[in-house]
Amino acid sequence: MYSPVHATAGLLLAQYMPNPALAFLVGVGSHYLLDAVPHGDTYFGAWLTGGHAKRRIAVVESLDLGLAAIVVLALIASHPQQSWVKLVAGAIGGITPDLLWGLRFVLDSKGWKIPLLTPFLHHHDRWHSWGHAKHPYDIPFAVGIVVQVILIALAFLLHL
């Protein structure tokens, strides 16, 4: 899934949590569960990290995180009775595993090794990839995008 869906899931689950710390952790957990669902990005990663990887990743991540920010702000506005800190914590938790992947990519591409952090990021990358690799099939990229747009639209329509 992409950041708008991960952030939406984390935010929506956060509304049922008693505090921001738990909201963040539940958001992180929701990320791994959503990534286990086929969502059309199996071959996208190869394209993304192929030629001109830094430029491609910068453009895609800017769009991805920008859309996630817009969705999160809109959902916070539609939940004025909820603590915005708790909702944002859930949304950030929802995208944290992908942010950790991005940090690992940047550090590796520069050849930087930071004690404790680099091994943690490599271990996390293996864990993060596990859910993606569990299904032997995937749906086409365009179908994955449509499904994710429908999920976000449902969140707004149902006023979750």
Rg of the chain taking only CA atoms, in angstroms: 16
Confidence (pLDDT) at 132? 64
Q: Where are the domains of the chain?
A: 3-157
Confidence (pLDDT) at 49? 66
**CB-based contact 138:38 (threshold 8 Å):** yes
C-alpha span between 68 and 91 (Å, rounded): 9
Confidence (pLDDT) at 14? 94
What is the value of pTM for the model shown? Answer: 0.83
Average pLDDT per 10 consecutive residues for the chain, totaling 160 residues: 89 93 96 79 64 76 91 88 92 94 85 92 83 66 80 76
Residue 115 DSSP code: T
- In sequence order, what are the residues at sequence separation of 6 or more whose Cβ sits closer than 8 angstroms to the Cβ of residue 141? 40, 41, 43, 44
